[in-house]
A and B are shown apart, each in its own frame.
Chain A
Amino acid sequence: MNAIGQAISRADGRLKVTGAARYTADIPVTGAVHAAIVSSTIANGRTVSIDTKAAEKAPGVLAVFTHRNMPRMNPTPKPWSHLHPHGQGYLPLQDDEIHYAGQPIALIVGETLDQATYAGTLIMVAYGEKKPVVFGQQTVNEAVDPPQFLWPVNSSVGDARKGIAAGAVKIEQTYTTPDRHHNQMEPHATTAVWDADGTLTLYETTQHIYGAKALVAIVLGLPPEKINVVSHFLGGGFGGKAYVWPHTLLAAVAAKEIKRPVRIQLTRAQMYSMVGHQPATIQTVSLGADRDGKLTGIHHQSISPTPVFDSYIEYAAMATRSLWAASGGISTTHKVVHVNRNTPTAMRSPHEALGHVALESAMDELAYATGVDPVVLRLRNDTEIDPHSGRPFSTRAMRQCLTEGAARFGWAKRTPEPRSMRDGRYLIGQGVAAAIYTHWRWPAKARVTLNRDGSAIVESGMHEIGGGTYTVMQQVAADALGLPAEKVTVRLGDTRLPMSIPSIGSATMANAGASVMLAAKAARDKAIALALTGRDAPFSGAAVQDVQVGDGTLTLARRNQNITYAELLARNGLSELAADAAYDPVPEHEGPKAIFSFGAVFAEVRVDPEFGTVRLNRFVGAYDAGLIINPKTARSQAIGGITWGVGQALLEQSETDPATGRFINRNYSGYLVPTNADIPELDVLFAGEFDEEASPLGAKGLGELTAVSVAPAIVNAVYHATGKRIRDLPVTVEKLL
């Protein structure tokens, strides 16, 4: 039986629930000492003086670093690249300038974490303070065109303005989303260890071990081969641990200076300032359509904040380039406002989950303006050709997602009139939104080794960020080798392994998975070759294509002969048989087809009309992510993504103090994420099929997709329930009273 397609439980599940899994800061390092970061309480200006005398004398303190004695670092390279990804371009403790609240201004190394932290409170700082620039509606007219860093900043196909003007029905609205923070349960942590030969090992909370290696090599001026980065388990990444943030660099330099391993783990509050966040957006969508709801033009503009020293773009309008057809044209623009804050970064689901809030809310407004059912409206604007690139989609099961999702949800029973559905005192609302998500094709390598005991090992520098990499790679290798999945062990998260991809953009299954499959096939083929031509070859003279593998055994049915992998290795005097493989696809944008994942999601909310409280009653998510490798881990991804979207819709916002420019709700008490009580039973179905353009495994990206369009589906449901269109997230009670 094939392992692929089976709902196999997590290989590392027991380790995780028993606490046996070692996360980065759990990995013991002999002689490690601890560092605490002191951060700026102002958002703009400079430090005039930093008095470290009392801290230096505090118990257990080994060293105190400020910009005055921290060794100089090499600047981060431009342009920004996934291959050497800095989280922020402004390097820590290099000068006296302050550009954001919470910026590191001193580092204390102590024998214990408590000693270092306490000593940090003894540091006296005098500031030269300037009024901070804070993002908001009032700063929008200072928006500028940023330089491109990932995708084109602007796009135009056809003539969107003309197309909109030609429409019989027009919608033009502005939608805003707040700053949000990743709030991973596991805080960012680094343990930096220098060996006697000058090799640096970083135990790092990262989704991108090779990126950390490359960036740290540049900033520290080290040959990359002198750096190893290790990350075996991640307690949540969500994009926030994809790039290198200041604490990693501080740990590496401090460890070198004091000649001891140094561990830094950020405090919960520091995770709101010293690492990235999802920036607020102010988005305007203009739609033109004929009376039947067929789009004649779309324009989507997004403005978001970025620091004074970096130009991070939240590509919120990007998804609009490919989601729906519009006969006249589609145009998108992105602008940024430079303010006093740290650099924003990718946060689940970067770009798409924000843009869909605006576009899919506007589509609902269009449905009501035209009187067309919201599901039907989307079916009418479905397209088999990517409007942006003009290429056909490889696969696009949008129609199935919409129709099968609607059937499962019971959409036909919905009465379209707002406030027309009730349950006792509660108003009931039902909303739909569709989703599209970028697919990446990236090169990845893997090694698969058959052992003499008949087991196999997969080795590849992949990551386990919670999605189930240890499990799904077992399945992929098992099928290619003809082994039961439990006979396969997966090793990942170490730059000394064959180079794989960052765990970002939902790219692991399709790309890292492909490399594992190729390596496993290569190992299998080596074994078959041994059976044909090796010592005492049992299948001597037979043809390769006549050999079958299954359950750890090679079979030549025609001659009724078989031999196990274990026997084969023993016969050839081999302790192991290893094969390396590289998956080297052309990048998606250079391929003949446009590749995306798709979804349609349906939300039912219950609104207390007197209190304005919104609760999710039920939710159906229908997804096209190609072939599903493991329905259980895939469903778990969807549960996480939908829950993430519920937070975006109803709860999450990082609040900035207008006077000081500081994020103020910097903990789980002030920043609300959903609890179990907020999440009803979630119904997930998969409508995709094998997509050979996406991956040799047929899989497209899933994890990020599932967090897309949850919020607009809920917002649309709230409109249906109450007749109030909320265009500013999250939907909190005061907006409905």
Chain B
Amino acid sequence: MHPFAFSSTDDPAKAIAAHADDPELAFIAGGTDLLGLIKDRAAQPARLLDINRLADMARIEASPDGALRIGAMARMSDVAANADVRRRVPVIAEALVFAASGQLRNMASIGGNIMQRTRCAYFRDEDGLPCNKRRPGSGCSALHGVNRNHAIFGWSDNCVATNASDVAVAFAALDANVIVRGRSGERSIPFTEFHRLPADTPERDNVLDRGDLIVAIEVPARAEARGSHYLKVRDRQSYEFALVSAAAAVTVEGGRIRSARLALGGVAHKPWRLAAAETALRRAALDDADALRSAIAASFSDARPLAHNAFKVELAQRVALRALQIAGARA
């Protein structure tokens, strides 16, 4: 393993300053992704700064109006088990319990979860294959390689990787915000703008800068939150990343969809909102599967499958449809 120095702090300001000043320093929270990356030599930080002791960052707070504030250091298992989260925003609880394993969920933080890096096998190869995310300029092995698990939306010739987080898909669907504290103070980043598309700089997964510390995820009160569902399709029943997943949240009036929020996982470098579908779904009858299907299809005209993942185009639409139907039944 790459040698690194380890220290910890309970002072957010010190953490932020240390990260800003030192390009070879990485924060470590649960470590469930970072340690694997270091072992696979896909990350080689010279210094790790343990932020587990930062005070007041693990709280899960619910406002009377239904909004949630989830501290960045809250563990996945704690958020998934939280009564307010389960009752008010089932899509978040479901996205969490279908992710990883019990042991990992006990360790992994919410802030770390949305920072997790792609599962692309080329990116994570112990001996290092060409990968622009790992070594900018070295090329993308997956573009013409084994790319069954890769993107169908928004990829570039430089990178076809997908984002692996489940809960990020739910956050994107609900237009959550990432609360970030940096050197110049605190700011709120709309979740759908937090992760980036690969374009020419696939080494950058998100918009954070040096010295940025995620302190919380804020989920505004959404009328659709209660009628929500996370549906994950994967090769095995447990402990596996999504082939395709969908977060759906709806309000229903007289059997018709009043408003819909829909995002997909496993299809792009970021959680993929289906904006055109959301518009087309308004006023659609929930029991008219054909109408729902064609509304969802509105978001797939720009799907660009790779050699091994054409099935995702059809599968994603079917997963979105069923997620929507289940969410609608709850609304």
Chain A interfacial positions (CB closer than 8 Å to B): 39, 41, 102, 114, 117-118, 121, 267, 269, 610-613, 615, 650-651, 655-660, 662, 664-667, 669-670, 672, 674-678, 732-734, 737
As a 0/1 sequence over residues 145 to 183 of chain B, the CB contacts with chain A under 8 angstroms (1 = contact) are 110100000000000000000000000000000000000
Beta-carbon contacts under 8 Å, B1-46 to A: 1-3, 40-41
Residues of chain A contacted by B3 (CB below 8 angstroms): 114, 118
- What is the bound-complex CA distance between A41 and B141, given in angstroms? 14
| Closest chain A residue to B307, Cβ basis | A658
As a 0/1 sequence over residues 240 to 273 of chain B, the CB contacts with chain A under 8 angstroms (1 = contact) are 1001000000000000000000000000000000
Chain B interfacial positions (CB closer than 8 Å to A): 1-3, 40-41, 119, 121-122, 124-129, 141, 144-146, 148, 233, 235-240, 243, 310-311, 314-315, 318-319, 322
Check B311–A734 contact: CB distance below 8 A.
yes
Cross-chain pairs A/B with CB under 8 angstroms, 14 sampled:
A118-B2, A121-B41, A269-B127, A610-B318, A611-B233, A611-B315, A651-B236, A664-B122, A664-B125, A666-B126, A670-B124, A678-B236, A733-B233, A737-B311
Residues of chain B contacted by A121 (CB below 8 angstroms): 2, 41
Check A659–B145 contact: CB distance below 8 A.
yes
| Chain B at the A interface: SS class | loop
Give the distance to chain A from B148, nearest Cβ to Cβ, in Å: 8
Check B144–A678 contact: CB distance below 8 A.
no
Check B129–A657 contact: CB distance below 8 A.
yes
- What is the bound-complex CA distance between A650 and B239, given in angstroms? 15
Residues of chain B contacted by A665 (CB below 8 angstroms): 121, 146
Check A269–B126 contact: CB distance below 8 A.
yes
Residues of chain A contacted by B235 (CB below 8 angstroms): 650-651, 672, 732-733
* Further contacts, 7 of them, CB under 8 A, given A269-B125, A678-B238: A39-B127, A269-B126, A610-B318, A611-B318, A665-B146, A677-B237, A678-B236
Check A610–B236 contact: CB distance below 8 A.
no
- What is the bound-complex CA distance between A118 and B4, given in angstroms? 11
| Chain A at the B interface: SS class | loop
Check A610–B238 contact: CB distance below 8 A.
no
Residues of chain A contacted by B145 (CB below 8 angstroms): 657-659, 664
| Closest chain B residue to A735, Cβ basis | B311
Give the distance to chain B from A538, nearest Cβ to Cβ, in Å: 61
Check B318–A664 contact: CB distance below 8 A.
no
Give the distance to chain B from A133, nearest Cβ to Cβ, in Å: 17
Quick one: given A733-B243, A733-B311, A737-B314, are A666 and B236 in contact (CB under 8 Å)?
A: no
Check B311–A267 contact: CB distance below 8 A.
no
- What is the bound-complex CA distance between A56 and B125, given in angstroms? 25
Out of B144, B239, B314, name the residue touching A659 (CB < 8 Å). Answer: B144
Check A613–B240 contact: CB distance below 8 A.
no
Residues of chain B contacted by A650 (CB below 8 angstroms): 235-236
Residues of chain B contacted by A657 (CB below 8 angstroms): 122, 129, 141, 145-146
Check A660–B238 contact: CB distance below 8 A.
no
| Closest chain A residue to B141, Cβ basis | A657
Residues of chain B contacted by A117 (CB below 8 angstroms): 1
Quick one: given A615-B237, A676-B238, A737-B314, are A664 and B129 in contact (CB under 8 Å)?
A: yes
Residues of chain A contacted by B141 (CB below 8 angstroms): 657, 659-660
Give the distance to chain A from B60, nearest Cβ to Cβ, in Å: 27
Residues of chain A contacted by B310 (CB below 8 angstroms): 734
| Closest chain A residue to B44, Cβ basis | A121
- What is the bound-complex CA distance between A585 and B182, given in angstroms? 77
- What is the bound-complex CA distance between A551 and B314, given in angstroms? 69
Out of B127, B240, B314, name the residue touching A41 (CB < 8 Å). Answer: B127
Out of B2, B121, B126, B314, name the residue touching A655 (CB < 8 Å). Answer: B121
Give the distance to chain B from A273, nearest Cβ to Cβ, in Å: 9
Residues of chain B contacted by A675 (CB below 8 angstroms): 236-240
Check A610–B122 contact: CB distance below 8 A.
no
Residues of chain B contacted by A651 (CB below 8 angstroms): 235-236
Q: Which 6 A-B pairs have the closest CB atoms?
A: A734-B311, A677-B238, A677-B237, A269-B126, A664-B121, A675-B238
Residues of chain B contacted by A669 (CB below 8 angstroms): 119, 124
Instruction: Tell which of B122, B235, B314 has the most Cβ of chain A within 10 Å.
Output: B235
- What is the bound-complex CA distance between A734 and B308, given in angstroms? 9
Residues of chain B contacted by A732 (CB below 8 angstroms): 235
- What is the bound-complex CA distance between A547 and B151, given in angstroms? 78
Give the distance to chain B from A36, nearest Cβ to Cβ, in Å: 10
Residues of chain A contacted by B237 (CB below 8 angstroms): 615, 675, 677-678
Residues of chain A contacted by B319 (CB below 8 angstroms): 611
- What is the bound-complex CA distance between A656 and B2, given in angstroms? 27
Out of A655, A674, A737, name the residue touching B236 (CB < 8 Å). Answer: A674
Give the distance to chain B from A270, nearest Cβ to Cβ, in Å: 8
| Closest chain A residue to B146, Cβ basis | A655
